[in-house]
A and B are shown apart, each in its own frame.
Chain A
Amino acid sequence: MCDRATFITIIIIKRGAVAGFRAVFGGREEEEGPDVESQGRTERRSDTGQGATSEKMLTNISNLLRACAHRHVSTETVVSARTYADFTTQATFEIKKCDVHKLDEAPATQVVMTRDEGLQYYRVMQLMRRMELKADQLYKQKIIRGFCHLYDGQEACAVGIEAAINPTDHLITSYRAHGYTYTRGGTVKEILAELTGRRGGIAKGKGGSMHMYCKNFYGGNGIVGAQVPLGAGVALACKYQGKNELCVCLYGDGAANQGQIFETYNMAALWKLPVIFICENNRYGMGTSVERAAASTDYYKRGEFIPGLRVDGMDVLCVREATRFAADHCRSGKGPIIMELQTYRYHGHSMSDPGISYRTREEVQEVRSKSDPISNLKDRMLSNNMASVEELKEIDVDVRKEIEDAAQFATTDPEPPLEELCNHIFSNNPEVAVRGTNPWSKLKSVS
């Protein structure tokens, strides 16, 4: 349960009052007095030292209103009358319980999120959202070509998972990989430039949408389901090398029916590999709904002898908590575990799929309005006084700028040079000759 702030927030919505806000309060101040420090419990504003702060607040509010009165006022004003020192630094949230399979315990349903965490999750999810929308735009302008599988709607999964694992852990996923490329360490610039096929792309333009790699991130895989045995192999290497690392191995509801996944379940359980199998169930494998593809849609139970969790994939805190639980399971040597994240993609399967022939517009709208991971996080933070509308808007502006800059780079960076056509066939190899399209065309490949 979360406590509400005891002072009143005046919210009058108006366009263009941002400057006014700044004029009154100046730049950001991060004053943390003892009365706002958290001591592992939730904040109750009615406690210590509140009197003085309230008075200061009221003065500020009246100053601002006076300032507004002298301006041309239209119907709406945005004012959040606080300094950052007045925000709740952490709060406890009640989250949805997970369904479990072959487990005696389940992830906690009461979780703590700090203000800093919230802001971070918000920023990353918003950035991923905007990045995918920018990709959509660039694709329609024919600046991105080929395959482009967008992740918008599913942000809570990538962000929640990354929040619960270490950078030294490993992750592999399918072709719907742009979000994970970011959370695992790629920059927006590198990702967009890879989509536009430029030399500044994360794979130098050689891979494209489905083949992006970075440290401890193994792509981006084009063959449906192939990433699952690969991920178990990464986990085998983790166990073999004894570094207490694990591998998060993602696949979709469509891939969940691949035979090689069941072969992998068997070996991972047999050898107790530290792998978290995660099924991102977004209800549709391309145009086929789960009911039409699977005899059993309880994907978290499909591992039979492997314990499983079914998780609300639209709630970043649910995903984080479940992943923490799963990671503990793996790290304690108990072997693999399966998580099914119930999530949703707003776009169709890929850019060539409008996404409304096998599902209704109403369904998409409903998910967007009720379950959007970013909106829900925002609401949580605002209603728990963990951030201001203003602050979040600033983040939005900042994110937009980052995406714009990256898109600018991605559209102006030159394409890879032809001299590099044949490079990187092999690693750590002496130079080799490569036959071109005809016998006189003798190209070369360096590692």
Chain B
Amino acid sequence: QVTVRDAINQAIDEEMTRDERVYLLGEEVAQYDGAYKVSRGLWKKYGDKRIMDTPISEMGFTGIAVGSAMAGLRPICEFMTFNFAMQAIDHIINSAAKTCYMSAGLQPVPIVFRGPNGAAMGVAAQHSQCFASWYAHCPGLKVVSPWSSEDAKGLLKAAVRDDNPVVVLENELLYGVSFEMSEESQSKDFVLPIGKAKVERQVLLVTASGSHITLVSFSRDVGNCMDAAAVLAKEGIDCEVINLRTIRPLDVECIQTSVMKTNHLVTVEGGWPQSGVGAEICAKIMEGPAFNYLDSPVTRVTGVDIPMPYAKILEEHTMPQIKDIIFAVKKTLNV
């Protein structure tokens, strides 16, 4: 049993030992052991040169990180949350994502941008935005979002080893959650492929009279989907739960295969509905072979289309709950 926090810590530690060019920079990553203690112990082990505390200068230090990647290093640029990365987004998109293309391959940018994304608890509007669809919009970026500890470790290691800019959208509320980690995932060379989703809960038997449905999600909402699936199972509804793991490039094939089996699809995300990840999945399903297998239109479960309020009762009603997923499944199945 390993927490997501520790899994990320292991990933950074292993990649820094493996490759001297890898270093971590961000606010409070060194002497404070990380704002969320993700980088605990790393400064003690690697020192000032490789674990760098930065001033509160997102645009500046992100540009510095990107420049260092252009000149041969392999930085991990941490944002305390992705809300602050908005100040640096020009460097993520214009300086990092587009450069390999603009230079016709002459200038690669091997950099990782990581940090917590999306809603936390009680931190209100400016600290709760989900940026998955913002980054997933842009060619030249790869965007991953882990749920389990295995995801967190394998995807981050893959991101560091990738010669291209990768955005890793973690979740603050998952840092303290423990997951079983397989034998394989404890190896120093364990990486997960970027661009491949995982079926977390499989529908094994499809019958003509049975109720089956595919649930697609990423990050914390995968957990909500799994919980909803457990409740629905008792009512005779069998859910296939897909953990996207990567938002860009989206593993459409995995979703298609599942939909062609279950004939129904619900997407779940914490972000706002307009132009969100669910909207993209709907569009892709319509353009592919799975469309003809749908027995009803795709349903999106999303965050409420408002800035995040503070009061507990309001906040709870702004994010998708398990009951919202269950409701959506039943409506989609018309039961």
| Residue of B23, B49, B54, B101 touching A424 (CB-CB under 8 A) | B101
Q: Render B155-174 as a binary contact track against A, CB cut-off 8 A, 1 for contact.
A: 00000000110000000000
One of A206, A221, A267 near B60 (C-beta < 8 A): A267
Complex Cα distance, B61 from A267, in Å, reads 8
Q: Is A213 an interface residue (CB 8 A)?
A: yes
- Counting from the closest, the 5 A-B pairs by CB-CB distance are A233-B67, A229-B63, A263-B60, A427-B108, A237-B71
Check B61–A447 contact: CB distance below 8 A: no
Ordered by A's residue number, 19 sampled pairs between the chains whose C-beta atoms are within 8 Å are A203-B103, A203-B106, A206-B101, A207-B102, A222-B94, A229-B64, A230-B66, A233-B67, A237-B71, A238-B71, A240-B73, A263-B55, A263-B57, A263-B59, A424-B103, A424-B104, A426-B163, A427-B110, A428-B108
Tell me if A241 counts as interface (CB < 8 A to partner B): yes
Q: Which residues of B contact A226 (CB under 8 A)?
A: 63, 90-91, 94-95
Question: With A and B bound together, what is the CA distance between A298 and B1 in angstroms?
Answer: 60
How far is the CB of A145 from the nearest CB of chain B, in Å? 16
Contact B67 A428 (CB under 8 A): no
Chain A residues lying within 8 Å of B108, measured Cβ to Cβ, are 427-428
- Determine the chain A residues whose CB is within 8 A of the CB of B61 once the complex forms: 229, 263, 267
Known contacts A424-B100, A425-B140, A233 near B163 by CB under 8 Å: no
User: A162–B315 Cα gap in the complex (Å)?
Assistant: 58
Cβ distance A258 to chain B, nearest Cβ, rounded Å: 9
Chain B 111-148 interface 0/1 with A at a Cβ cutoff of 8 Å (1 = within):
00000000000000000000000000001100000000
Contacts of A118 in B (CB 8 A): none
Q: How far is the CA of A214 from the CA of B70 in the complex (A)?
A: 12
Docked-complex contact B163 and A260, CB < 8 angstroms: no
State which size class the interface on B falls in.
35 or more
Nearest CB of B to A232, in Å: 5
Query: Is B287 an interface residue when CB atoms closer than 8 A count as contact?
Result: yes
Q: Among the listed B52, B67, B91, B164, which residue makes an inter-chain contact with A234, where contact means beta carbons less than 8 Å apart?
A: B67
A429–B102 Cα distance when bound, in Å, is 16
A170 is an interface residue with CB less than 8 A from chain B: yes
The reply to whether A214 and B55 form a contact with Cβ atoms under 8 Å apart is: no
Q: Mark A148-161, 1 if CB is under 8 A from B, else 0.
A: 00000000000000
**Cβ contact within 8 Å between B103 and A206:** yes
B47 within 8 A of A: no
Interface residues of A in 49-101 (CB under 8 A from B): none
Chain B residues in 8 Å Cβ range of A228:
63
B274 located at the interface, meaning its Cβ lies under 8 Å from any Cβ of chain A in the complex: no
**A307–B252 CA distance with the chains assembled, in angstroms:** 55
In whole angstroms, what is the CA distance A401 to B255 when docked?
Answer: 61
CA distance A234 to B249 in the complex (A): 29
Query: Do A432 and B68 touch across chains, with their CB atoms under 8 A apart?
Result: no
- Further pairs besides A229-B66, A266-B57: 14, Cβ < 8 Å: A170-B71, A218-B70, A228-B63, A229-B64, A230-B91, A232-B60, A233-B66, A233-B68, A235-B67, A263-B59, A264-B63, A427-B108, A427-B163, A428-B163
Per-position 1/0 for B37-73, Cβ under 8 A of A: 0000000000001001011010111111111111111
- How long is the Cα–Cα vector from A204 to B105 in the complex, in angstroms? 9
Give the Cβ gap from B147 to chain A, nearest Cβ, in Å.
24
Cα distance, A237 to B163, chains bound together (Å): 16
- Asked if B202 CB lies within 8 Å of chain A CBs, one says no
Residues of chain B having any CB pair with chain A under 8 Å: 23, 49, 52, 54-55, 57, 59-73, 90-91, 94-95, 100-110, 139-140, 163-164, 249, 287
B23 closest partner in A (C-beta): A240
Which of B52, B59, B249 is the one whose CB lies under 8 Å from A259?
A: B59
Known: A260-B60, A425-B139. A233 touches B55 (CB 8 A): no
Please, which residues of chain A bring their CB within 8 A of the CB of B49?
240
Q: CB-CB < 8 A to B94: which residues of A? A: 222-223, 226
Taken together as a complex, chains A and B put the C-alpha atoms of A172 and B61 apart, in Å, by: 17
Q: How far apart are A292's CB and chain B's nearest CB, in angstroms?
A: 25
Q: If A259-B59, A426-B164 touch, does A232 touch B67 (CB 8 Å cutoff)? A: yes
Assuming the A-B contacts A233-B65, A427-B100, are A267 and B71 also in contact, with contact meaning beta carbons closer than 8 angstroms in the complex?
Answer: no
| A218-B67, A226-B63, A428-B163 known; A237-B107 Cβ under 8 A | no
Q: How far is the CB of A359 from chain B (nearest CB, A)?
A: 30
Q: Give the distance to chain A from B302, nearest Cβ to Cβ, in Å.
A: 23
CA–CA, A270 to B64, complex, Å? 13
Evaluate contact between A427 and B102: CB separation under 8 angstroms.
Answer: no
The residues in A between 205 and 247 inclusive whose CB is less than 8 angstroms from any CB of B are: 205-207, 211, 213-214, 218-219, 221-223, 226, 228-238, 240-241, 247
Question: Residues of A contacting B106 with CB < 8 Å?
Answer: 203, 213-214
Asked if B102 contacts A241 (CB within 8 A), the reply is no
A residues in contact with B109, CB < 8 Å: 427
CA A412 to CA B210, docked complex, whole Å: 67
A423 at the interface (CB under 8 A from B): yes
Residue of B nearest to A214 (CB): B106
In the assembled complex, A439 has its CB within 8 A of some CB on chain B: yes
How many Å lie between the Cα of A113 and that of B65 in the bound state?
A: 39
The distance in angstroms between the C-alpha atoms of A221 and B95, with both chains bound, is 8
Contact B104 A207 (CB under 8 A): yes
